[in-house]
Amino acid sequence: MMTIRRTLLTTVGLAVLATVPVSASVHPAMAQTRPVAASAPVKPQSRPIDTRTVQQRQLDDRQPVMAQPQGQQPALPAMPELPPPFGANLFSGAFQLERSDGLNADYVVAPGDRIAIRVWGEMTADEVAAVDAQGNIFIPSVGPVQVAGTRANELDAKVRGSLRSVYTNNVEVYVNLLTATPVTVYVTGPVLQPGQYAGLPSDSLLSFLHRAGGIDAERGSYRKIKVLRAGKEVARVDLYRFLIDGHVPAFRFRDGDVVLVERQGLTVTVDGTARNPFRFEFAGSTATGAELMDIARPMPKVSHAGASGNRDSGPFSVYVPLSDFRALRLQDGDSVRFQADDHAQIIDIGIEGSHLGPSYYAVNRDTTLKELLDHIAVDTGSANVQAVYLRRRSVARQQRQLLDESLRRLEQSVLTAPASSDGEATIRVQEAALVSQFVERARAVQPEGRVIVARDGKVADIRLEDGDTVIIPQQSDLIMIAGEVLVPQAVVYSPRSSAEDYIARSGGLTERADPDRFAIMRANGAVEIASTEPLRPGDSLLVLPKVDTKGLQITKDIMQVIYQIAVAAAVALAI
């Protein structure tokens, strides 16, 4: 028998589905044990950390250009917001400089360094010697000793060997590198603070760039940095090798060296589903999609890439599968977005309540509720299979939106309510404070997204969505009483008892209770407001609070919020 399925959304945000008859063979089928592979819940993605430099943040946060006083030049227009360049955070944090005392064990002695020498025994000497231009120090009775180019941790052995070549017995020596000769290095090009900086020959290129404020993120190159000596290039550095591979170039500076940061080359902007959503620079005039993927690292689920930019023939835009994107030639200024458009054909469904077996199932995307129930083993004596319902994320989001809209209208009603006298104005202020607290608590309520699929022994055979949770309630002989009662508790069901009887067994109503308003939450997840239908085993009775305000519209808005929260989250929220 074929039936038509329809989805309805009530005014209070509860999804209810038209039902179809359930054959008598369905319930035993639910006890069959043919579980499909269980799947772990999907972990939420994390967003990348904002790695923009101070300068980039300033550029991104510029305010619109204001009118300038007469005689002054107008400010530059605000630049469009772009992701930061790859490596822009390299100079944004704390940066530990090299030791300034030259006591690094790997420091290489150079002309101008000062060395303390103490000799005792057959010969006595206490000298502080300076390394001359030829790289020598002079020791009395020994003569010049070549030390330039010797590492600091090898200096003692070098001097000791020279002494013992003259004094073979009864001579002890102590050697200590006192000070290292600083060098002057010039840093220029697109850096934030170009100029002259002092450091040690063993200082790294990064330390000199840091002293110059770092590379200008909008103009400078992270891939083309030169070190010039007497006008000739002696080293070329690509900071991407450091950022990606950890490679630090081994280089010793000399006095008068120049660090030249060249102009920024070809850049391609990346966003979308990628681990590194930055602006990337390439050394050549063009780059391939494969080269970009190596450093942008798109997520495994990415299936397509879109590229846009300008060519000599005009605007350029393509959207291609990832396999075709690898061979695509990219040019300066292009933007690339990685996208996951191949939807997974397997979805994860959670199972809660009275069931046997796995709590998660991985099923095909077009699986229906009944098809899944046929694979869930249950104990028919304890499971209430005629009251199955769902929790669905999309419904919870819709309930959240409806609740937020109601809270916005409530706040608007309170703020725009007129007052005809000082006394009434005082009352309005007090009401506004209460409503503000109520709204804050209401916004903290999380809707459950219940979908009613079972009614009167019939279950709707709806198509499942990824992330759905199937709830199979347990058979119960209790009635739960909650909300504005003195003693919220569970009471044994009695077919002759009314709602008032159950409330009396829970100590009666509180002072805040509204005796005419209560909600009944059925075992199948349905919520009925002020229902005349009798309570049934497994139901919950929720007594709602009364609302006492001077404004009719405010009262109506508050009651609507209370009803929405009762339906969406089974909570009685009082003002």
Q: What's the rounded Cα separation, in Å, for the pair 437 and 343?
A: 43
Give the residue-averaged pLDDT of 393-408: 88
Residue 334, pLDDT > 70, answer: yes
pLDDT of residue 344: 67
Least confident of 141-155, 284-298, 394-408: 141-155
Residue 318 vs residues 66, 182, 310, 331, 406: alpha-carbon distances, Å: 38, 55, 12, 13, 43
Give the residue-averaged pLDDT of 151-171: 81
Are residues 404 and 533 located together in one domain of the fold?
Answer: yes
Q: Which helix (H) or strand (E) holds 57?
A: helix 54-60
**CA proximity to 449, closest of 383, 518, 401, 406:** 401
Q: How confident is the model at residue 104 (pLDDT cuts 50, 70, 90)?
A: low
Which phi and psi (to 5°) does residue 348 adopt?
A: -100, 130
Are residues 503 and 550 located together in one domain of the fold?
Answer: yes
Residue 56 forms part of a structural domain: no
Q: What's the rounded Cα separation, in Å, for the pair 7 and 398?
A: 14
Are residues 512 and 416 located together in one domain of the fold?
Answer: yes
Which tens digit of pLDDT belongs to each residue from 415-474? 776 767 777 777 777 777 877 888 888 888 888 888 989 888 888 899 999 899 999 999
Are residues 428 and 503 located together in one domain of the fold?
Answer: yes
450 in Cβ contact with 14 (< 8 Å)? yes
* Residue the block writes with tokens 């369905």: 26
3-state secondary structure 95-152: CCCCCCCCCCCCCECCCCCEEEEEEEECCCEEEEEECCCCCEEEECCCEEEECCCCEH
Q: In this structure, what CATH number is given to the domain that contains residue 221?
A: 3.10.560.10
Residue 427 forms part of a structural domain: yes
Which phi and psi (to 5°) does residue 259 adopt?
A: -95, 120
**How many C-beta neighbours within 10 Å does residue 336 have?**
25
| Range list of H helices, 262-392 | 289-296, 322-325, 369-373
Q: What's the rounded Cα separation, in Å, for the pair 133 and 413?
A: 86
Residue 17, pLDDT > 50, answer: no
Are residues 539 and 438 located together in one domain of the fold?
Answer: yes
Q: Cβ contacts of residue 139 below 8 Å, gap of 6+?
A: 117, 119, 125, 127, 129, 145, 159, 162, 163
Q: What's the rounded Cα separation, in Å, for the pair 11 and 466?
A: 25
Residue 515 forms part of a structural domain: yes
Q: How confident is the model at residue 7 (pLDDT cuts 50, 70, 90)?
A: very low
Which tens digit of pLDDT belongs to each residue from 490-531? 999 998 898 899 999 999 998 888 888 888 888 888 888 877
Residue 279, pLDDT > 50, answer: yes
Q: In this structure, what CATH number is given to the domain that contains residue 119?
A: 3.30.1950.10
Q: How confident is the model at residue 227 (pLDDT cuts 50, 70, 90)?
A: very high
Are residues 251 and 140 located together in one domain of the fold?
Answer: no
Give the residue-averaged pLDDT of 47-65: 42
Residue 211, pLDDT > 80, answer: yes
Are residues 498 and 426 located together in one domain of the fold?
Answer: yes
Give the residue-averaged pLDDT of 141-157: 83
Which domain does 295 fall in, by range?
266-339
- Among 295, 319, 339, give the residue marking a domain's end: 339
- Among 179, 200, 232, give the residue marking a domain's end: 179
Residue 64, pLDDT > 60, answer: no
Q: How confident is the model at residue 107 (pLDDT cuts 50, 70, 90)?
A: confident
Q: Which helix (H) or strand (E) holds 60?
A: helix 54-60
Q: What is the CA radius of gyration of the chain?
A: 39
pLDDT of residue 73: 42
Residue 172 forms part of a structural domain: yes
pLDDT of residue 292: 94
Are residues 311 and 430 located together in one domain of the fold?
Answer: no
| Range list of H helices, 218-337 | 239-245, 289-296, 322-325
Are residues 421 and 526 located together in one domain of the fold?
Answer: yes
- The number of angstroms, rounded, from the C-alpha of 85 to the middle of its chain's C-alpha atoms is 19
Residue 380, pLDDT > 60, answer: yes
Q: Cβ contacts of residue 15 below 8 Å, gap of 6+?
A: 7, 8, 9, 392, 395, 398, 449, 450, 451, 452
Are residues 166 and 224 located together in one domain of the fold?
Answer: no
Percent with pLDDT over 70 in the chain: 80
pLDDT of residue 133: 83
Q: How confident is the model at residue 8 (pLDDT cuts 50, 70, 90)?
A: very low
User: In total, how many domains does the chain have?
Assistant: 4
pLDDT of residue 549: 62
Give the residue-averaged pLDDT of 162-185: 81
Residue 469 forms part of a structural domain: no
Answer with the residue of higher pLDDT: 350 or 97.
350
Q: Cβ contacts of residue 157 below 8 Å, gap of 6+?
A: none
Euclidean distance between the first and the last CA atom of the chain, given in angstroms as a whole number? 50
pLDDT of residue 48: 42
pLDDT of residue 551: 60
- The number of angstroms, rounded, from the C-alpha of 226 to the middle of its chain's C-alpha atoms is 37
pLDDT of residue 95: 59
**How many C-beta neighbours within 10 Å does residue 406 have?**
22
Residue 345 forms part of a structural domain: no
Detail the DSSP E strand segments found in 406-456: 450-452, 454-455
Q: Which of 47-51, 160-164, 532-536 has the highest mean pLDDT?
A: 532-536
Are residues 523 and 409 located together in one domain of the fold?
Answer: yes
Residue 124 vs residues 115, 140, 141, 143: alpha-carbon distances, Å: 16, 10, 10, 15
pLDDT of residue 174: 85
Are residues 220 and 231 located together in one domain of the fold?
Answer: yes
Residue 417 forms part of a structural domain: yes
Give the residue-averaged pLDDT of 294-300: 93
- Among 263, 295, 324, give the residue marking a domain's end: 263
Beta bridge partner(s), residue 226: 236, 260
Residue 343, pLDDT > 60, answer: yes
Residue 15 forms part of a structural domain: no
Residue 52, pLDDT > 60, answer: no
532 in Cβ contact with 499 (< 8 Å)? no
pLDDT of residue 59: 41
275 secondary structure, DSSP code: S
Q: What's the rounded Cα separation, in Å, for the pair 279 and 296?
A: 9
